[in-house]
Chain A
Amino acid sequence: MTARATEILRRAGAEQHSLEDYAGCVPRWCTGCGDNAILAAVQKVCREEQLPLEKIVFVSGIGCSSRFPHYMGTYGFHGLHGRALPVAEGIKMRRPDLHVFVNTGDGDCCSIGAAHWVHATRYNMNMTVMMHDNNIYGLTKNQASPTSPMGTRSNTTPRGSVLEPFDPLQATLGFSNLSFVAQVPDWIPELLFQVIHEAHKHRGFSFIRILQRCPEFQANRWEPCMQDPASVRILTHENGVKLSPTLARAYKNNQEHDPSDLVEARRIVGTSEEIPVGIIYRNPDVPCYEDMRKPDRLYTPDHVKSGLEEELDKFTIWPRD
């Protein structure tokens, strides 16, 4: 069936959007790349919410992960390295009707685009941001990223990286006007789906750090964690993620965490030996910039005319009679 026909049927209520409707070009990521898992989860969220295809925009920077929009059957904007967030803000500003998603890499977000990330958090515009953190620069072929563990051997650190890694969670929990922070690995599909789904439903700037596998350049990075479920501590809550019975059997290391508790969120992120997973912080009451900056007056040609005339009056020299 053509996309158009599907659309007509869907509108008539006869058919729902299927997963395939949300699919775009065939992904060109490496086999086993965690980005594939993220793509699958995102498409499921879109189907779950039955988001209209034309009302969705995926915005990205540059990197393996930033190819994401091409693989969605929605609108997309694959822009510049590090600059996905300001582009997404510009889109959202006058188009609150659009569902805006952002895909960014650890280099894209925490290095070249770090300033935008700080401020995007503060603007708190309603969008879902997925930071695909594979601890490496993938697209440019294996250079250390700010999140690479100390000692990472890469093409720019052949004898091992010398700096302590940057912790995106600790950083973001220090930003002002925080609204939603989560962390989830790409290899637990059920949680990945839940977290992205919650992030999308949250009204505000929802930031998810996704621990992403890069078998090509960081083959062993997450392997031990995958093998050892106890290395992951799942934060559950009625306002956070919930474990299904199956998942609860596999992941015994979990704890209740109220996502509204910022002090506790900072404590967990700052001290936990294990990887905290789930919704770390959530505050639904932070106002969104696009709402606050919405002009009282609608844009109409009549308003432009009257507004302009009013201003011109201030500077006008009328002939004296």
Chain B
Amino acid sequence: MSVAIKKQATPVSKPAHEIDEHIVEILSDSGEGAQKCGQSFGAISARLGYGIWTVEIIPAEIQPPARSVDGASGNRIRVASRRITNGGDKADLAVAFNEQVLRGRLNANELKPGSIILLEDKWRHDDDPSIAASYVAVYDELLERGFDAIEIPMETECLKIVNDPRKGKNMFVLGLLCSIYSLEVEAAHEQIRFIFGKKSEQIIIANQRLLDAGYQWAEDNLDIKFKIQATPPVEPSIVVNGNTSIALGVMASGMEVCAMYPITPATSASHYLSDVFEKVGGVVHQAEDEIAAAAFAVGSSYAGKCAVTITSGPGYSLKQEVIGLAVMAEVPLVVIDVQRGGPSTGQPTKPEQGDLLTACFGSHGDAPKVVMAASDIEDCFYSVITARRIAEAFNTVVVLLSDANLATAQQPFPRPEFCEEWLAAPIDQSPVDEDYLPYDWNARSGQRRRVIPGQPNGMHTLTGLAHDRNSGVAYNLKTNKEGIRNRSLKLAALQKTIKPPTVLGDDEGELLVVGWGSTRGSIEEAVQRIRADGHKVSSMHLKILQPLASGIREIMQRFDKVLVVENNWADSMDDELIDEDNRRYSNLGWLLRARCLVDIDCWGEVGEQPIKPGTVERVIRERLN
């Protein structure tokens, strides 16, 4: 059923439906600004005290063909009266700049049955009869399928204000949304001023006028109005996406060098860092390839403070040999892998958690390294600081995993308060004792004192060859073994300091769901929904994946079943060919089965979008039956 478009002006104070949350999607061709509109809508909502989570909808190409099913570019914004940790299930309202990008989302089943769809109506009158026909077909189908489809004369209205509606429709739509969700126009004006801050006053005013026009049009013509309760913030918070959060974390960690080679979806972290790092005396080096980037970072670390290299899957593979070198020579190094769909070029813009095992066991030979994963936007920030500290305390490699989901998702979190302990100690140039040994491993922890060039009496040659305590080439088996043992010992020493993970829900029960990384929000939301039905389901989220904390096995043993849920491939037991002998488990599934000797079940999904809470909920319910 369609909401009739009222032609007469309605009073500004329409009654609003009180709701708890809504999921909104804004969809356009690439370049039409739906992403900016979505981000702004999210930011305004956050400013006003709503919980938000935004998900970018990104086509694979920079300029996909216009009006194409796979070319949808835009944003999903989940707005709620409480803190939100994921993008949610299906959308309640979608705004589409053409019917084809909408078709893409319909095909992907991303819209709730009966949801509200605001559709640009200009295509109905397009000169090309095939376009007009395609528009009408989709529109009719929407009505037939029970969607609340509303045609909006976006272009016609925008042309009253600007000459090029392609560059303005998005602010008109922002105005529509402000009216529909009863958001203060004042806050939206501030947001426009903020995003167009570097542009001229004229541009700012034009965009504000477009916003006002959209707002007024909705007030005058639409019958829909919602109100979500906001909790106005009492403490300052920041709204950033995961990659910006990582970049801020790099700044806050006291690292001074970031070496990188561009790769989606990691690049935006380096873009932002390139813009701001020099303010704090840091530098981003764009190397000729990922091997060089990693080697450059190792050189910097060797001669000074721990450095960082940021990449994604294919680049992470290229860095493997250098990672082995850093482990062997015991040079601190932070490697950030913003995972994407793999293997090979895979799905560069899509989320996947497929690199966990390669992070734990990659490189070659015995190369023990620390592996951590960020689980939300705030965690991206603090994990970098922790990674740097561990790398320097243990003179080893720390791999920090994020993914395409966190990379572009936005979520507010409390504004960090700077703390000097985050920073690396200033580099030491004091003379060392004459009897200094470069690898004077501590028998209990495997740790050593790192001496860097410039320190008198400390001269030695670091080597990727097996070496003795004097960093001399190890020509015998015993010396080599001593090095391997000490490097391995460092992980054990670190492990002793890791607290066991906490459990969400009861400490025992029917089912424990275990996850890591960006799926945390969806898993916990699903578990809470099921707990609300009285099921004894709990969840546990792991942040340090290598070494694993003590106590994980004991926690798992208190549940009848353990299920690992993650965004990577796991063979399904429903598959005809699959049995217990050939089943390939999900990444964490393998890891926990091997570590804990518990018969853990797993479920993995490799999809286009981040795993939804509803999907996890369904999987859990199946396992409970």
Contact = CB atoms under 8 A, between A and B. Distances in A.
Interface of A: 2-4, 7, 24-25, 52-59, 62, 69-70, 72-80, 83, 85-95, 97-98, 115-116, 118-119, 293, 295-301, 303-305, 307-312, 315-320
Interface string B575-588: 00000000000000
In order of increasing CB-CB distance, the 4 nearest A-B pairs are A90-B299, A299-B281, A76-B461, A86-B295
B237 A317 contact: yes
Contact of A54 (B292, B297, B456, B461): B456
9 contacts: A4-B457, A78-B464, A86-B295, A87-B298, A87-B299, A87-B302, A93-B285, A119-B292, A315-B238
Interface stretch (B121-129, B250-258, B352-360, B367-375): B250-258
B459 A73 contact: yes
Nearest to A119: B288
B259 interface: yes
A94 B277 CA distance: 14
A77 B461 contact: yes
B551 interface: no
Interface of B: 46-47, 232-240, 244, 248, 251-252, 254, 256-257, 259, 276-283, 285, 287-289, 291-293, 295-305, 307, 321-322, 325, 329, 412, 415-416, 418, 420, 423, 434, 453-465, 472-473
A303 B280 contact: yes
Contacts of A307: 251, 276, 279-280
A183 B412 CA distance: 60
Contacts of A2: 434
A50 to B, nearest CB: 15
Contacts of B283: 93-94, 293, 295
A61 to B, nearest CB: 10
Nearest to A67: B473
B240 A93 contact: no
Given A83-B295, A308-B251, 14 more contacts: A56-B453, A75-B459, A77-B461, A88-B299, A89-B285, A93-B300, A94-B303, A116-B288, A297-B279, A301-B420, A309-B418, A311-B251, A317-B233, A317-B239
Nearest to B475: A28
Nearest to B251: A308
A90 B331 CA distance: 13
Nearest to A74: B459
Contact of A319 (B234, B292, B461): B234
B380 to A, nearest CB: 13
A136 B418 CA distance: 55
B288 A115 contact: yes
B279 A98 contact: no
Contact of A93 (B251, B296, B325, B415): B296
A77 B299 CA distance: 9
Contacts of A309: 418
A90 B300 contact: yes
Contacts of B252: 304, 308
Contacts of A77: 299, 302, 329, 461-463
Q: Which of A91, A297, A310 has the most CB of B within 10 A?
A: A91
A94 B434 contact: no
A296 to B, nearest CB: 7
A295 B282 contact: yes
Given A90-B303, A295-B278, A317-B412, A98 B251 contact: no
A59 B299 contact: yes
B292 A86 contact: yes
A2 B287 CA distance: 42
B256 A3 contact: no
Contacts of A316: 236-238, 415
Contacts of A90: 257, 259, 285, 295-303, 307
Contact of A303 (B237, B279, B307, B464): B279
B449 to A, nearest CB: 15
A303 B280 CA distance: 5
A25 B454 contact: no
Contacts of A300: 281
B244 A83 contact: no
B281 A295 contact: yes
Contact of A53 (B296, B434, B459): B459
B7 to A, nearest CB: 37
A94 B297 CA distance: 11
Nearest to B419: A305
B473 to A, nearest CB: 7
A167 B288 CA distance: 22
Given A75-B460, A310-B279, A89 B302 contact: no
A250 to B, nearest CB: 36
Given A3-B457, A7-B457, A86-B299, A315 B244 contact: yes
Contacts of B420: 301, 305
Given A98-B303, A309-B418, A78 B279 contact: no
Nearest to B235: A319
B462 A299 contact: no
A10 B66 CA distance: 74
A300 to B, nearest CB: 7
Contacts of B248: 308, 311-312
B296 A89 contact: yes
A315 B239 contact: yes
Contacts of B233: 317, 319
Nearest to A89: B296
Contacts of A80: 295, 321-322, 325, 464
Contact of A91 (B287, B293, B303, B473): B303
Contacts of A95: 303-304, 453-454
Contacts of A59: 299
Contacts of A301: 254, 420, 423
B457 A25 contact: no
Given A55-B453, A86-B292, A90-B302, A79 B325 contact: yes
Given A95-B454, A299-B282, A316-B238, A83 B415 contact: no
Nearest to B194: A314
Contacts of A308: 248, 251-252, 280, 418
B321 to A, nearest CB: 6
Contacts of B240: 315
A166 to B, nearest CB: 19
Contacts of B276: 307, 311
B310 to A, nearest CB: 15
B462 A76 contact: yes
A138 B147 CA distance: 73
Contacts of A318: 236
A31 to B, nearest CB: 20
A316 B281 CA distance: 23
Nearest to A294: B283
A193 to B, nearest CB: 23
Contact of A312 (B257, B281, B301, B415): B415
B461 A72 contact: yes
Contact of A78 (B237, B280, B457, B465): B465
Contacts of B280: 297, 299, 303-304, 307-308
Given A57-B453, A78-B462, A93-B285, A83 B300 contact: no
A295 B283 CA distance: 7
Contacts of B244: 315
A311 B465 CA distance: 43
Nearest to A95: B303
A79 B298 CA distance: 10
Contacts of A56: 453
A318 B434 CA distance: 56
A148 B237 CA distance: 64
Nearest to B238: A315
A223 B464 CA distance: 34
Q: Which of B280, B291, B304, B458 has the most CB of A within 10 A?
A: B280
A316 B418 CA distance: 14
Nearest to A70: B461
B251 A304 contact: yes
Contact of B473 (A70, A73, A116, A317): A70
Contacts of A320: 47, 232
